[in-house]
Structure 1
């Protein structure tokens, strides 16, 4: 069996599990966790619904990336990845990652401001962790933009080779 097909099958299993985890997190885990934290910390109570909305929307972005990746894997198996059809799915990934990163940055900023102005919550660990996640998210966004440019170049080369042959 071809190694690529095996890798695609395994990756699809992992993507399905990740999608399931994202759906559980989106509907049960994060809303419940945020509700619990805001009950324990009354100073965070005004942020309950904004944080819940940000968490759910970030998970929607993750789900979009999973679906787009699934479709791109189908194109890899069919040897159609270097065609124009792929750009729509790659653009979906780029936009979902960008929106998720912006939501994460906005949530980190809101949480950081709340922690800064609330004397009882001056633990630097959470803002540092959120800042790290925002940095990692920025790297992923820029990496996706570069990967899209590489796909465009590869598709152009493939089209040139198809014309020659």
Structure 2
């Protein structure tokens, strides 16, 4: 991967993380205040779902950053990369569940059905993204296995020569 691509992706991740901190520090308290007239359990649930959703994005971003570091060092094709990929899968899956829970919460209120449908659709897309990352993980595993096989063949050829 080109250095410019890694640099650009890191800028995007840094901006996303900074934005998520702004959401946690300023937007979530504003939402809490805006929901003042709602039932306390609904208010707490709504704000908690938002906070947890932001946390899933932060976990995802940090793991991608760590994988980019491995790419830059040339060590992404190692077993230790799977730990980060697994965390990414679980973070995306958790975001899908949180989005669906948000849709259910919105459906219980006076939110327009179209909005609830959009949030359900977002949940479905997030679930699909988690499955896509699982496929990518399997491709990574195959690449590592082929690299190990090729290395073993090179070693055998070296011994024969």
Residue 33 of structure 1 deviates from its aligned partner by 2.4
Answer yes or no: is the 8 Å Cα contact 2:103–2:116 preserved in 1: yes
| TM-score calculated relative to the size of structure 2 | 0.87
Partner of 1:105: 100
Counterpart check, 1:74 vs 2:63: no
Pair member with larger Rg: 2
Residue 59 of structure 1 deviates from its aligned partner by 0.7
Counterpart check, 1:85 vs 2:74: no
Answer yes or no: is the 8 Å Cα contact 1:97–1:140 preserved in 2: yes
Partner of 2:148: 159
Partner of 1:61: 56
Unaligned runs of 5+ in 2: 155-161
Answer yes or no: is the 8 Å Cα contact 1:35–1:48 preserved in 2: no
- Find 2:9's aligned residue among 8, 11, 14: 11
Residue 46 of structure 1 deviates from its aligned partner by 3.8
Map residues 36-47 of structure 1 onto 2, 5 A cutoff: 36=34, 38-39=35-36, 42=37, 46-47=41-42
Residue 34 of structure 1 deviates from its aligned partner by 4.6
Unaligned runs of 5+ in 1: 116-120
Answer yes or no: is the 8 Å Cα contact 1:98–1:141 preserved in 2: yes
- Find 1:139's aligned residue among 125, 128, 137: 128
Give the root-mean-square deviation of aligned CA atoms: 1.7
Structure 1 window deviating more from structure 2 (103-112 vs 7-16): it is 103-112
| TM-score calculated relative to the size of structure 1 | 0.85
Cα distance per residue 1:64-87 (max 9 Å; x no partner) = 111100010011111111111111
Partner of 1:30: 28
Count of matched residue positions in the alignment of Structure 1 and Structure 2? 154
Partner of 1:149: 138
Structure 1 window deviating more from structure 2 (52-61 vs 97-106): it is 97-106
